[in-house]
Chain A
Amino acid sequence: MISESNRSVHTAAPHERWLPRPSLRFVAVWRRNLRVWRKLMVPSLIGHFGEPILYLLAFGYGLGALIGEVSELPYIVFIASGILCSSAMFAASFEGLYSAFTRMHVQQTWAAMLAAPLEVDDIVLGEAIWAASKALISAAAIGCVAVVLGLLSPWGVLLALPLIWLICLAFACMALIVTAVSPSYDFFLYYFTLILTPMLLLSGVFFPLEQLPSLVVSLAYLLPLAHMIEIIRPLVTGGALHVGLLLHLLVPIAYTAVAFCIASWLFRRRLLR
């Protein structure tokens, strides 16, 4: 009944593709998540403001008083610019891990979407962009506090926000890979222990990278956070800017492209079987 001409189309079916082919319908996924966030905005924002501020005060004022200047910046300014980045990274990662897993597995929200004309690729793209948006919200909250405290330049923060969003797509897609292979929430601890925590400690958030052995520095530059800090820190602290900084964007962009393809493929394999 179904002839040869359909066979050729058959080969283009989602489960058989290597590369993702998302459509504009991903916007519906993003908007759904935004609508839920708006309903639960207050506790979420308190979280976004609260924890980083504690870190800022404890490390900045507490430790900063002992340390003085780091890389020609007062320590509290140094660390404010670092926490701006690391908090955004964690916001994107949490969203891509726990929240995405909840929607996929626990609430079956994705199953409901897949019964509508959405494909797995649309959902993965919508989730990745949403997770980066959460990072943007987090960075905006910390940025506000740091500007009000007179630590960071308001124009610098404003310019940094779109870059932070772009870079955090990489963290979102990396987290989604982990979610795609995860049997339960517990599995995420591996990712925290093996990737996120080392990245947080060794990428120049709390102290300059130069303090570390050169081998460790080279390893740090294999991951996106070190590059994020290379770009964002001079931007928000009024440091020297040059076009060469944009080269650091290439690493997160490459991570985004590769991780998005891998995550989509893994999710297709998991959900279309």
Chain B
Amino acid sequence: MPEPSTESQQTDAPHRAAEGTRVAEGADAGNTSQECAVLAEALSKRYGDQTVVDRITLAVERGECLGLLGPNGAGKTTTLRMILGLTPYDAGSLQVLGEPIPARAREMRARMGVVPQMDNLDPDFTVRENLFTYASYYGIDRSEAARRVDELLAFANLEEKAQASIASLSGGMKRRLTLARALINAPELIVLDEPSTGLDPQARQHIWQKLRALQRQGLSLLITTHYMEEAERLCDRVAIMDHGRIVACGKPGALIAEHLERYVIELRGDAARHFLATHESQVAPARIREIGETVLLYADQPMPIAESLDGHGLTYLQRPTNLEDLFLQLTGHDLRE
């Protein structure tokens, strides 16, 4: 692609973002990659002789919410850091919002927002001052910043906490403030690293509601998570990462249908295991997996198995297969530390 590198554009970019306009005009227009918020091709990262990210190819469409799922150590956070231009990669290519990364990462970051895994709000400032200070990093002028700060305090339901210190906020409030901070520059893309980790169920629902609202406004979202419920609720598509590779990518429902039977029967306890050992033929059509105490029977036609279990007086849970089953199927059942 032609490299947009004129001086005027470089100095312009943050300003344009500060006005909240979408960057569709200019030298990049007509470029196919412009349709993607993130476009990574065969991206690799090594630390010493350990390959943390191994030739991943990944696209986040404009207006889409993509979930990056994977166990701890799968390479999710490294992938996000590469996308931000903070971790140099060893091979492959990467464009974010049409900008080559890391060469024009600064210009790109002026048009995106980040919600990091660990809150890094400024503890010396109040809620309002945090937003003001962050606006100053983007070169947003004071009157414009004042308007946006009010807007974002309302969006994050933090108006009453505007003068509060960061230490006095609950975990959910801090996360909402971090999200509000990520929106200060009216970004086109937001990257969220485990946005609901450590939050109670109510706070989690609240943050999901906010993220869905942003999605409706047409923002592109890239979320890492290991909560399958979060991925199922928020993400248009998911990419499942393991050992630095993307092992599956697509719409949750389609991926489940592609990789798994339609139903699963869950059994627990010694009685269940004894039954399986002695009556294996009766559950023969099912694929059997054991995870610790739990036995999972996967089958497209669960009725005959269920009837047989009923006949032996066993309690069980029958449900459609979900993203969690898919995740365990693709990344294995071993504990990751």
A residues lining the B interface (CB < 8 Å): 1-3, 5-6, 9-10, 12-16, 25, 28, 31-32, 35-36, 39-40, 107-109, 111-119, 271-273
Give the chain A neighbours of B138 by CB distance below 8 A: 116-117
Known: A3-B1, A271-B86. A117 touches B109 (CB 8 A): yes
Chain B residues closer than 8 Å to A5, beta-carbon distance: 1-3
Beyond the given pairs A2-B1, A107-B123, 7 more chain A to chain B contacts, judged by CB atoms under 8 angstroms and listed by A's residue number, are A2-B100, A107-B122, A108-B118, A114-B84, A115-B114, A116-B109, A117-B107
Q: Are B33 and A1 in contact (CB under 8 A)?
A: yes
**Chain A residue contacts of B14, Cβ below 8 A:** 117
Q: CA A18 – CA B60 in complex, angstroms?
A: 33
Asked whether B134 lies within 8 Å of A116 as measured between CB atoms, the reply is yes
Please list 27 pairs of residues, one from A and one from B, whose beta carbons are closer than 8 Å in the complex, sorted by A's number.
A1-B33, A5-B1, A9-B103, A9-B104, A10-B102, A10-B103, A14-B102, A15-B102, A16-B88, A28-B137, A107-B123, A108-B116, A108-B118, A108-B120, A109-B122, A111-B120, A112-B121, A112-B134, A112-B181, A113-B137, A114-B84, A116-B109, A117-B106, A117-B137, A117-B139, A271-B86, A273-B87
Query: Are B107 and A109 neighbours in the complex by a CB distance under 8 Å?
Result: no
Question: Roughly how many angstroms separate A9 CA and B23 CA in the complex, as a whole number?
Answer: 21
B41: which A residues are within 8 A, CB to CB? 1-2
B94-148 CB contacts (< 8 Å) to partner A: 94-95, 100, 102-107, 109-110, 113-114, 116, 118, 120-125, 129, 133-134, 136-139
Alpha-carbon distance between A132 and B219 when the two chains are bound, in angstroms: 42
Alpha-carbon gap, A6 to B103, bound state (A) = 8
Residue contact B93 to A2, C-beta cutoff 8 Å? yes
Q: Is the CB of B87 within 8 A of A112?
A: no
The chain B residue with its CB closest to the CB of A106 is B123
Query: CB of B265 within 8 A of chain A?
Result: no
- Find residues 176-228 in chain B having any chain A CB closer than 8 Å to their own CB: 181-182, 185
Size of B's binding interface in residues, CB under 8 A: 47
The complex places the Cα of A112 from the Cα of B137 at a distance, in Å, of 10
Task: Given the known inter-chain contacts A28-B137, A36-B125, A108-B118, please indicate yes or no for A13 contacting B109, CB distance below 8 A.
Answer: no
Among A9, A14, A112, point to the contact of B120 (Cβ < 8 A): A112
Pairwise interchain contact A117-B110, C-beta atoms closer than 8 A: yes
9 nearest CB pairs, A to B? A108-B120, A2-B93, A116-B137, A115-B114, A9-B103, A117-B110, A13-B102, A6-B100, A36-B124
User: Which of B84, B103, B113, B116 contacts A13, CB < 8 Å?
Assistant: B103
Chain B residues, Cβ within 8 Å of A271: 86
Known pairs A9-B5, A272-B86; A1 contacts B95 (CB<8 A): yes
Residues of A within 8 A of B104 (CB): 9
Is B39 part of the binding interface, using a Cβ–Cβ cutoff of 8 Å? yes
Produce 1/0 per residue, B150-186, CB < 8 A to A.
0000000000000000000000000000000110010
Cα of A229 to Cα of B106 in the assembled complex, Å: 41
Find chain A residues with CB under 8 A from B47 CB: 273
Given A1-B33, A1-B39, A2-B1, A118 and B88 contact (CB-CB distance below 8 Å): no
